[in-house]
Amino acid sequence: MSTPQAPAASPTDAGKPASSREVLAEARRRRTFAVISHPDAGKSTLTEALALHAKVISEAGAVHGKAGRKSTVSDWMEMEKARGISVSSTALQFNYSSPESGEPGADGDADIVNVINLVDTPGHSDFSEDTYRVLTAVDAAVMLIDAAKGLEPQTLKLFQVCRHRGIPVITVINKWDRPGRAPLELLDEIDERIGLTPTPLFWPVGIAGDFRGLLRRGTGDAAGEAVEYIRFTRTAGGAKIAPEENLSPDEALEREGDTWTEAAEEAELLSASGQDHDQEMFLAGQTSPVIFASAMLNFGVRQILDTLVALAPPPGARLDIADKPRNVDDAFSAVVFKVQAGMDTAHRDRLAFMRVVSGVFERGMVVTHAQTGKPFATKYALTVFGRERTTVENAYPGDVVGLVNATALAPGHTLYVEPKVEFPPIPSFAPEHFAILRAESASKYKQFRKAVDQLDSEGVVQILRNDIRGDASPVMAAVGPMQFEVVAARMKAEYNVDPKIEPLGYALARRTDPASEVELNRQRGVEVFTRSDGVLLALVSDKWRLQYIQKELPDLTLEPLVAATD
């Protein structure tokens, strides 16, 4: 199911030409990651808080519990603002100066500037396919867990995708400012349910709901020791960076008394259980560094950024469809993982987000589109911060670049400069919900067709057609029903089309072939459609009907598709 990842490379500069040395140096400065979570775990709030701590915004956009609440920079769609959920992935790029020591949370000279490529993912399970596409483009993930709820179904599914793809995971236990479960209980759940050994780098001082600060645990020879106490001070509404006070263990004991003692004892207990950070085991996907935080109050956010910079892997080689590695200092190549339109209300353009895999991207360069073999000009290239755009002149491995009006590109496509390379495609998930889509007014048919083609090419839904229903009544296929709501909202907002959506009585989709098509169309409870990529799909009313057909007509092709839970 996954695009294989080559082992993270640690190349040396010796003997490399200047251009290769430059690419390797730039790649080492980059961290490209996604935040994964169950809905309402605080993902968009954390995204905003990370941007605030990197000082690319002056005030957090999410001001909860107040009238006139602002929306986060990563949630730009009207539907997202209205509901307070993320339904589309967005890319944010910013610089972050980290401590020179490289140890998370340590004081040092902040003169190492890292480039952070943060890809925010949809929070709702109906958009699992969009999230999976994002996970093909990152080198690490932050798994966000609600302190009161622990591991939830969507988090578990997305973690399994990370494990399948070999993506190392940093765990953040969020909302520690609210009542929740005991910290050791949460760690036990992570260990027992997903087989990932949690190795806390920072331990909470104060129970859930009484978050005073973080105890920084030592690493290496000082593993498990309480190195320092980072004490936080609240700001109004959490709109500003929370002031930090760094105290020694003795000062912490004097300030917090038994609360500090309890935290220090628990931190020592973790070492006795073998829950100290080991970088090799982390990169191998066996352990996960843990940080306790409150994204709402901006407590622990700097520590998350420092941990990402210090521990998350930089871009490495990627395997192509022939299982050969494309090294970061090879000629330019990139993978398209997301296509999005409607981000700029002034221009109905279409952005294709590509992750640079190797080499240097230079705006205006002519590359080859692997799927068509045709040249592709890159004159209009942007870096994106939420809805704001900046023209990009150069980009390096790990960077996310938006190409404007890239109508030929779709998720999973490869761009390259010789030598030729093509990376494995991104699979489409098996849809479970189906609906007929029509325009309410025949006078808007032209706009209707444009909207359907656009949303189909972005992968918002899969569009299915056959001769009987015709182009005026295509069928939408989706992982979850909320995808239909997004279609309706965007058609209205971007194309001024009022769509009519009618549920269709099918529950399963199976891949078939031309040889089986005629016979399948004769069967009750079955209808065959052609997907936009040319794949034939047989929609079946229910699993019992499918079992009957497979038993009575075993020679017909009815192959399962990739499931959203795989």
CA distance 477 to 85: 22
Q: Which residues pair with 510 in a beta bridge?
A: 538
Give the pLDDT score at 19: 84
> Of 282-286, 374-378, 427-431, 483-487, which gets the smallest average pLDDT?
427-431
List of residues 6+ apart from 445 with CB closer than 8 A = 439, 472
pLDDT at position 97: 85
Cβ pair 96, 114 in contact under 8 A: yes
Helix (H, G, I), strand (E, B) or coil at 545: helix
Pick from 250-254, 429-433, 540-544: least confident: 429-433
Quick check: 373 pLDDT over 70? yes
- Model confidence at 385, pLDDT cuts 50, 70, 90, reads low
**What's the mean pLDDT when you consider all of the chain?**
85
pLDDT of 61 strictly over 60? no
Tens digits of per-residue pLDDT, 263-297? 999 999 999 889 999 999 999 999 999 999 999 99
The token pair that represents 200 in the structure block: 């806390």
Out of 216-225, 406-415, 433-442, which region has the weakest mean confidence (pLDDT)? 216-225
Q: What is the 3-state secondary structure (H, E, C) of 319-363?
A: ECCCCCEECCCCCCEEEEEEEEECCCCCCCCEEEEEEEEECCEEC
The residue-averaged pLDDT of 117-128 equals 68
Q: Which residues pair with 37 in a beta bridge?
A: 144
Number of residues in the chain: 566
Grouping H, G, I as helix, E, B as strand and the rest as coil, residue 422 is: coil
What would the two tokens of residue 88 be? 């589309």
Res 363 pLDDT > 50: yes
Alpha carbon distances (Å) from 188 to 191, 226, 403, 539: 5, 21, 44, 43
Is the Cβ–Cβ distance between 157 and 124 less than 8 Å?
no
Residue 322's pLDDT band, with cuts at 50, 70 and 90, is: very high
Exposure class string for 312-324: b at 16+ Cβ within 10 A, else e: bbbbbbbbbeeee
Buried residues in 380-416 as b, exposed as e (16+ CB within 10 A): bbbbbbbeebeebeebbbbbbbbbbebeebbbbbbbb
pLDDT at 87: 40
SS3 368: strand
For position 147, what pLDDT does the model report? Answer: 96
Whole-angstrom Cα distance, residue 547 to residue 331? Answer: 50
- Binding-site residue set: 120-124
- pLDDT digits 0-9 by tens, 510-536: 999 999 999 999 999 999 999 988 999
User: Region 438-466: what's the mean pLDDT?
Assistant: 87
Question: Quick one: pLDDT at residue 24?
Answer: 95
Helix (H) or strand (E) holding 292: strand 287-292
**Backbone φ, ψ for residue 65 (5° rounding):** 75, 15
pLDDT tens, residue by residue, 477-505: 988 888 888 889 888 888 899 999 999 99
Poorest-pLDDT segment among 11-20, 348-357, 391-400: 11-20
Tokens representing 168 are 């190392």
Average pLDDT of the residues in 440-467: 87
240-252 mean pLDDT: 94
164 CB neighbour count, 10 Å cutoff = 13
The whole-angstrom separation of Cα 140 and Cα 311 is 10
456 pLDDT higher than 70: yes
pTM of the model: 0.80
Specify the range with the lowest mean pLDDT, choosing from 55-69, 119-133, 223-237, 324-338: 55-69
What SS3 class is residue 18?
helix
Residue 35: strand pairing partners: 120, 142
Which residue, chain included where needed, has tokens 């009907």?
Answer: 545
Spacing of C-alpha 107 from chain mean position: 30
pLDDT at 99 exceeding the cut of 70 = no
% residues pLDDT > 90 (the chain): 56
Q: Residue 254 is encoded by which pair of tokens?
A: 């004097």
Instruction: Flag whether pLDDT at 42 surpasses 50.
Output: yes
Q: Has residue 66 got a pLDDT over 50? A: no
> Which residue is it, tokens 């029509």?
438
Walk me through the domains of the chain, giving residue ranges and CATH numbers.
30-311 (3.40.50.300), 318-416 (2.40.30.10), 433-552 (3.30.70.3280)
Confidence bin at 561 (pLDDT 50/70/90): confident
pLDDT at residue number 51? 86
Among residues 153, 141, 146, which one has the least CA distance to residue 194? Answer: 153
Q: Helix axis angle, 153-165 relative to 183-194, nearest 10°? A: 60
Q: Which residues pair with 150 in a beta bridge?
A: 146
Contact 361, 383 (CB under 8 A): no
Angle (CA) 392-450-351 rounded to 5° is 10
Q: Is 377 exposed, middle or buried (0-12, 13-18, 19+ CB in 10 A)?
A: exposed
CA atoms lying within 13 Å on the CB side of residue 470 = 3
pLDDT-based confidence at residue 85 (cuts at 50, 70, 90): very low
**Which segments are annotated as binding site for GTP?**
120-124
Confidence class for position 344, pLDDT limits 50, 70, 90:
low
Answer for the pair 198, 275: CB distance below 8 angstroms, yes or no. Answer: yes
Peptide bond into 411 cis (omega under 30): no
Region 101-105 average pLDDT: 62
Nearest to 437 by CA among 453, 458, 420: 453
Using alpha carbons, select from 414, 367, 394 the residue that is nearest to residue 19.
394
Cα dihedral across residues 106, 110, 112, 113: positive or negative: positive
Weakest mean pLDDT among 43-57, 67-81, 377-391: 67-81
| Res 256: pLDDT | 97
- Average pLDDT (220-238) is 86
pLDDT at 41: 86
pLDDT beyond 70 at 110: no
CA distance 478 to 462: 6
Is residue 8 predicted with pLDDT exceeding 60? no
